[in-house]
Amino acid sequence: MATVGAMGSATVVAFVLSWKFTLGYMALVPIIMLAHVSRMKSAKATTKRAQEAFEDAGKVHKLFLFFFNFCIALRNVMSWHIYCVTL
Residue 80 has pLDDT above 70, yes or no: no
Domain span at residue 42? 2-86
How many domains is the chain built from?
Answer: 1
Tell me the pLDDT tens digit for each residue of 31-73: 888 888 888 888 787 787 788 888 888 888 888 888 888 888 8
pLDDT at 23: 81
Tell me the pLDDT tens digit for each residue of 5-32: 887 887 788 778 777 777 877 888 888 8
User: Which distant-in-sequence residues (6+ apart) come within 8 Å of 33 by Cβ?
Assistant: none
Distance CA 30, CA 37 (A): 11
Give me the helix-helix angle, 2-17 and 19-86, nearest 10°: 150
| Number of Cβ within a 10 Å radius of residue 74 | 10
Distance CA 75, CA 39 (A): 53
Higher pLDDT, 79 or 28: 28
pLDDT at 86: 67
pLDDT at 83: 64
